Amino acid sequence: MSASTPGERHAIDAAHGFVAAHVKPNAQSWDRGLADSGSVLREAARAGLLGLEVPVEQGGQGLSFGCKRRVAEILAAADFGLAMSVINTHNVANHLARSAAPELTRHVLPALLSGERTGCTALTEPGAGSDFSAITTLARRAGDEWLIDGRKAWIVNATHADVVVVYAQTAPGSGARGIAAFVVDGSRSGFVRDPRSDSTAAPGIDAGGFQLQAYRARADELLHPPGEAFKAALASINGARTYVAAMCCGMVEECLRVASAYGAVRHSFGKPLHEHQGWRWSLADAAIELEAARLLVDAAASRIDSGSDAQAAAARAKVFATRMAGRHVAALMHAMGAEGLREHHPFLRHLAAAQVATLVDGSTEMLLERVARGLRRP
Asked if 121 touches ligand FAD (CB under 6 A), the answer is yes
Site string for ligand FAD, 28-67 (x = CB under 6 A): ----------------------------------------
Q: Which of 52, 156, 168, 217 binds ligand FAD (CB under 6 A)?
A: 156
Asked if 365 touches ligand FAD (CB under 6 A), the answer is yes
Closest CA to 94 of 54, 63, 124: 54
Asked if 129 touches ligand FAD (CB under 6 A), the answer is yes
Single out the segment in contact with ligand FAD by CB under 6 A; choices: 89-97, 234-242, 317-325, 362-370.
362-370
Q: Is-contact 332 256, C-beta < 8 A?
A: yes
Asked if 101 touches ligand FAD (CB under 6 A), the answer is no
Asked if 359 touches ligand FAD (CB under 6 A), the answer is yes
Q: Which of 44, 50, 87, 123 binds ligand FAD (CB under 6 A)?
A: 123
Q: Which of 18, 65, 80, 154 binds ligand FAD (CB under 6 A)?
A: 154
Rank residues 288 and 372 by Cβ distance to ligand FAD and give the closer one: 372
Q: Which of 82, 122, 217, 240 binds ligand FAD (CB under 6 A)?
A: 122
Number of neighbours of residue 195 by Cβ within 10 angstroms: 8
Site string for ligand FAD, 167-206 (x = CB under 6 A): -----------------------------------x--x-
Asked if 87 touches ligand FAD (CB under 6 A), the answer is no
Q: How far apart are CA 349 and CA 331, in angstroms?
A: 14
Closest contact distance (angstroms) between CB of 3 and ligand FAD is 27
Single out the segment in contact with ligand FAD by CB under 6 A; choices: 138-146, 293-301, 330-338, 363-371.
363-371
Rank residues 82 and 123 by Cβ distance to ligand FAD and give the closer one: 123
Asked if 130 touches ligand FAD (CB under 6 A), the answer is yes
Q: Which of 83, 87, 155, 168 binds ligand FAD (CB under 6 A)?
A: 155
Q: Give the footprint of ligand FAD on this chain (CB under 6 A).
A: 88, 120-124, 129-130, 154-156, 202, 205, 207, 356, 359-360, 363, 365-366
